[in-house]
Amino acid sequence: MTIEQKIKALTDLLNQYAYEYYTKDAPSVEDEEYDRRYRELEKLELENPNLVRADSPTKRTGDVILSGFEKFQHPYNLYSLGDVFSKEELEVWEARVRKEVSNPEYICELKIDGLSLSLYYEQGNLVTAATRGDGSVGENITENVKRIKDVPLKLREPIDIVVRGEAYLPRKNFAKLNDERELEGLPPFANPRNAAAGTLRQLDTKVVGKRGLATFLYQEASPATNDSQEEVLEYFESLGFQVNPERKFAKNMDEIWAFIERATTLRDQLAYDIDGVVIKVNDLATQEELGFTIKAPRWAIAYKFPAELAQTEILSVDWTV
């Protein structure tokens, strides 16, 4: 196979996986497999920039949107996140930030394994809720989001604000849902993330109410009125949003790594799935200075946990030796 053919094959394969994952909410491969292939493509594209295809998944966020929902044009682009898979890669990212910014400060947050959504409030009232979609155009899922009990329909202040966060299905509700599906002879959802995504795209809003989705909000998408991410999160709490309590201020790589180790230990005890830790530059003016790549902010990075399945496989190999 020539490099060109290899790039095409990988692009097609990843686009197929992305379609199954984002549009159908039914992935056929583990995330780790997707991430591995994605990196393979990224490397080939870096070495052969003239062969990059226009439909490359490295050039876009998410996937096409389903019919059945109105399209919603986001006034502020909803970016994805760059990711790293080891301490060494994280160190490289941190060193790059440190080169651009003197004495950077960070906020470490849990990476909630759910579905990205944005909420639009006018005069404190929820007017629209939309999925991320391809980052620029999402699906209008307002009626469904109104059925999520922890999403405030009215904020404690009559402000105009656009907030971004993650909708997720708590593990307990996921297990209950799959038990019910089994009784009804329906195929189970692969994981809570897919169940949450499938639920939010239900055309019957009553079903959404029954399944017990929940949210964590983490970012102001409209121009921020605060100076730091830490203040944004506190402000969100005061407005009535659910904000994840597990977050930590960090000044250097050692402190970031200590939070990642804590999150790794905490992971199994949480009531919801997480797939990593997100590290963000705390100061919002510095975030603006650092800016964005084509699909992700330069001021944040996702550290992804090694996949549980892969760990099991590695362990079982060790045991047989």
Which residues have CB under 8 Å from 187's CB, separation 6+?
181
Q: Which stretch binds ligand NAD (CB under 6 A): 43-51, 107-115, 207-215, 232-240?
A: 107-115
- The answer to whether 225 and 172 have CB atoms below 8 angstroms apart is no
- Binding ligand NAD (rule: CB under 6 A), the pick from 109, 139, 220, 273 is 109
- The answer to whether 113 and 195 have CB atoms below 8 angstroms apart is no
Verify binding: residue 208, ligand NAD, rule CB under 6 A: no
Phi, psi of 148 (to 5 degrees): -85, 120
Verify binding: residue 27, ligand NAD, rule CB under 6 A: yes
CB 128 → ligand NAD: shortest distance, Å? 18
- In the bound state with ligand NAD, the residue whose beta carbon lies nearer, of 42 and 91, is 42
Amino acid letter for position 9: A
CB 85 → ligand NAD: shortest distance, Å? 10
Verify binding: residue 21, ligand NAD, rule CB under 6 A: yes
Which residues have CB under 8 Å from 103's CB, separation 6+?
251
Q: For residue 49, give the DSSP letter.
A: G
Verify binding: residue 81, ligand NAD, rule CB under 6 A: yes
Verify binding: residue 166, ligand NAD, rule CB under 6 A: yes
The count of other CB atoms within 10 Å of the CB of residue 252 is: 13
Amino acid letter for position 155: L
**DSSP reduced 3-state for 313:** helix
What is the Cα–Cα distance from 69 to 245, expressed in whole angstroms? 33
Q: Which residue has the closest beta carbon to ligand NAD?
A: 116
Catalytic residue from among 6, 43, 71, 111: 111
Query: Active-site residue 99, yes or no?
Result: no
Q: Which of 210, 278, 215 minimizes the C-alpha distance to 244?
A: 215
- Binding ligand NAD (rule: CB under 6 A), the pick from 7, 10, 11, 17 is 17
- Binding ligand NAD (rule: CB under 6 A), the pick from 83, 94, 105, 230 is 83
Catalytic residues: 111
Q: Which residues bind ligand NAD (CB under 6 A)?
A: 17-18, 20-21, 27, 29-31, 34-35, 61, 80-81, 83, 109, 111-112, 116, 132, 166, 218, 278, 302
